Structure 1
Amino acid sequence: MIRFITQAVLTAIALWITAAIVPGITVIPFAGEPPMNSMLTYLLAAAVIALVNALFGTVLRFISIPLYIVTLGLWSFVLNGLLLWTASLISSAWGWGLTIDHFWWSAVFGAIVLGFANWLVELVARAVGIGTHD
């Protein structure tokens, strides 16, 4: 359970970095006290991203193995953008959460930045001793 919470916090930080870098990706906080509502919104948006990846990502990656082969792996950028786009549709349906303006320029580029930011945040966390791996 601690590992899941740590991973969710690290993904929320990576999502915050992504929203700061990529134009067209924003996180709309829900009502509440200003610092707390933003942090909780990022955590919930990270949970939605994890849920979408767990439910749809594995199946879509398996089904699209021929596209990975034909495009020499470039299909992964489009698929990750599609999964991020889906997570934004789910979370923004409640009136708060992750919103993405355009698929190609925001979702696909945002998925690339989110993957890199997540890798960087986890690298720093492991260096500090907050690692998420056993």
Structure 2
Amino acid sequence: MKKFAIKIAVNAVALWVASLVLKSGITFEHSGASTGQLVGTILIVALIFGLVNTFIRPVVKLFSFGLIILTLGLITFVINALMLWLTSAICAHFAVQFHVENFVSALLGSLVITVVSLILNALLPDDDK
């Protein structure tokens, strides 16, 4: 349970940093919302993003295995962008205030999220060691 909570927290921070870096491309729409509501929204989006990455991403990677080999793994950035874009669509369906403007924003956002997640996971202690 602790590992799951840390993973959601890392996703939340990475999504928040991506929204700061790509101000118009990735947004948490919070007009007049308090800081607590914004944090709640970010945590809900991180949870949805984590569920998408846990259940849908492996299936997409399985079916795109040939492309992954052919492109030496670079297509995984496109897969990550599609998962971020799918998260935005799911959030819109459930009236969660998170929006990814277009595919380019999703691609750049997935790069930012990957870098921030790598840094945070390197800094956090690992219980498995």
Counterpart in 2 of 1:78?
Answer: 78
Gaps of at least 5 residues in structure 1 are: none
The alignment partner of 2:73 has SS state of: coil
Counterpart in 2 of 1:27?
Answer: 28
Counterpart in 1 of 2:106?
Answer: 107
Q: Deviations over 1:21-69 (max 9, x none)?
A: 124101124986x111111111110000011111210111111110011
Gaps of at least 5 residues in structure 2 are: none
Preserved contact between residue 100 and residue 106 of structure 1 (Cα < 8 Å): yes
Counterpart in 2 of 1:92?
Answer: 92
Counterpart in 1 of 2:41?
Answer: 41
Q: Distance in 2 between matches of 1:132 and 1:98?
A: 30
Identity of aligned residues (%): 29
In angstroms, what is the RMSD of aligned CA positions? 1.8
Q: Deviations over 1:82-125 (max 9, x none)?
A: 1110011001223333211111x20111111111111112223x
TM-score between the two structures when normalised by the length of structure 2: 0.89
Aligned CA distance change for structure 1 residues 56 and 2 (closer, same or farther; 3 Å): same
Preserved contact between residue 28 and residue 99 of structure 2 (Cα < 8 Å): yes
TM-score between the two structures when normalised by the length of structure 1: 0.86
Preserved contact between residue 12 and residue 43 of structure 2 (Cα < 8 Å): yes
The alignment partner of 2:99 has SS state of: strand
Preserved contact between residue 52 and residue 87 of structure 1 (Cα < 8 Å): yes
Aligned length: 127
